[in-house]
Amino acid sequence: MSTSAPPPTAERRGAAAGLLAGIGRTPLVELAFPELPAGVRLFAKLEACNPGGSIKDRPVAGMVTRALAAGRLAGGRRLLDSSSGNAGISYAMLGAALGIPVTLVVPGNASAERLARIRAHGAELILTDPVEGYDFALREARRLAARRPDRYWHCDQYGNEDNWRAHYEGTGGEILAQVHARTGAPPDVLVAGVGTGGTLTGVGRRLREARAEVEIVAAIPERFPGIEGLKPLGAPDDIVPAILDQGLIDRRVPVTSEAAAATCRRLAAQGLFVGPSSGAFVWAALQVAAERRRGVVVTVLSDTGERYGSTGLWPSP
């Protein structure tokens, strides 16, 4: 059976238009925790509402549509990238809808749910050694692209400026408008994390333009592999993503996998079914909030909890 994608048809273009139109404009929810100081409000963007189930639909849609318009995928060249899995799902989903062949380099410990969905959309998967982490997958994608430039175009989400721009225009712009509608002002604190750095850089730049003194907090996993999707920023040998604007970060809060998982379960008890990076962000947001008497803290719930059943995140009966 051939794995190459069939040529685009009218129906496929129709599905693509619908999917692209369904990305973004996610709800902003207010979170309630007993330890939150009375004068502090905590809001979160529900990114699981994107059609690919995570925040990565936004940058991937931006990067892929820009690449198509620039003719980078002409002549049946395959779109190639490395991913912790969520961007892989977005690439696979949009590649299937747009008729673009996709190859993804993903660490072999990505959750079974992620790998199943990438395969379901028909993308080619190259699994790398889990112990080597995200940086090794990135190096492998670079190596493949350098060896076969006729076959692959490396989208490179870690170095592609259209990644952070999607968050500057979309995620960040929406946060400003939604927080303003609820509180009458821009937020005082942003809590995010770093996979590619796209979210932190794009949203951080947008919020800092609106309020110069906004505090930007990065939640950093204490160990690797620790929290799916997040890099141990600053650890020895860790590659700092080219698009990450480190100058935006005012403060780093280390988070354990256990604290992230426990917070996911607390969020599930409030009706919010999200993955460990979201748990880590909310845990860090609660630490920062505890030091304030008043203010508005905003964070992002990056993906759906349905991606983590196989990882033991949720209590079994």
204 binds ligand PMP (CB under 6 A): no
Q: Tell me the C-alpha distance between 124 and 101, whole Å.
A: 8
Q: Which of 26, 50, 86, 111 binds ligand PMP (CB under 6 A)?
A: 86
Write the interaction track for ligand PMP spanning residues 282-311; mark x where CB under 6 A is met and - where it is not: --------------------xx--------
- Is residue 45 among the annotated active site residues? no
Sheet holding 28-31, edge to edge: 28-31, 39-46, 294-301, 189-192, 215-221, 251-255
Q: Which of 82, 111, 128, 196 binds ligand PMP (CB under 6 A)?
A: 196
42 binds ligand PMP (CB under 6 A): no
Q: Tell me the C-alpha distance between 191 and 285, whole Å.
A: 6
228 binds ligand PMP (CB under 6 A): yes
- Is residue 54 among the annotated active site residues? no
Which listed range, 107-115, 176-184, 224-232, 283-291, lies at the site for ligand PMP (CB under 6 A)?
224-232
Residue for token digits 């990076």? Answer: 277
Tokens describing residue 291: 């030091």
Residue type, 126: I
261 binds ligand PMP (CB under 6 A): no
198 binds ligand PMP (CB under 6 A): yes
Q: Is the Cα dihedral 55, 238, 147, 72 positive or negative?
A: positive
229 binds ligand PMP (CB under 6 A): yes
| Rg of the chain in Å (alpha carbons) | 19
Q: What angle do CA 123, 128, 254 make, to 5 degrees?
A: 105
236 backbone dihedrals φ, ψ, rounded to 5°: -55, 140
275 binds ligand PMP (CB under 6 A): yes
Q: Tell me the C-alpha distance between 208 and 302, whole Å.
A: 21
Which listed range, 14-22, 68-76, 176-184, 189-197, lies at the site for ligand PMP (CB under 6 A)?
189-197
In DSSP terms, 253 is beta-bridged to 219
Q: Which of 50, 178, 277, 299 binds ligand PMP (CB under 6 A)?
A: 277
Active-site residue among 56, 83, 278, 302?
56
Residue type, 76: G
Q: Is the Cα dihedral 129, 132, 135, 141 positive or negative?
A: negative
226 binds ligand PMP (CB under 6 A): no
Nearer to ligand PMP, 45 or 78 (CB): 45
Sheet holding 102-107, edge to edge: 124-128, 102-107, 78-82, 152-154
232 binds ligand PMP (CB under 6 A): no
CB 45 within 8 A of CB 26: yes
162 binds ligand PMP (CB under 6 A): no
- Give me the least distance between CB of 316 and ligand PMP, in Å please: 22
Total number of residues shown for the chain: 317
197 binds ligand PMP (CB under 6 A): yes
47 binds ligand PMP (CB under 6 A): no
- Give me the least distance between CB of 216 and ligand PMP, in Å please: 13
| Strand bridging mode 28-31 / 39-46 | antiparallel
199 binds ligand PMP (CB under 6 A): yes
141 binds ligand PMP (CB under 6 A): no
Nearer to ligand PMP, 5 or 67 (CB): 67
Footprint of ligand PMP on this chain (CB under 6 A)?
54, 56, 84, 86, 193-200, 228-230, 275, 277, 302-303
Catalytic machinery residues:
56, 277
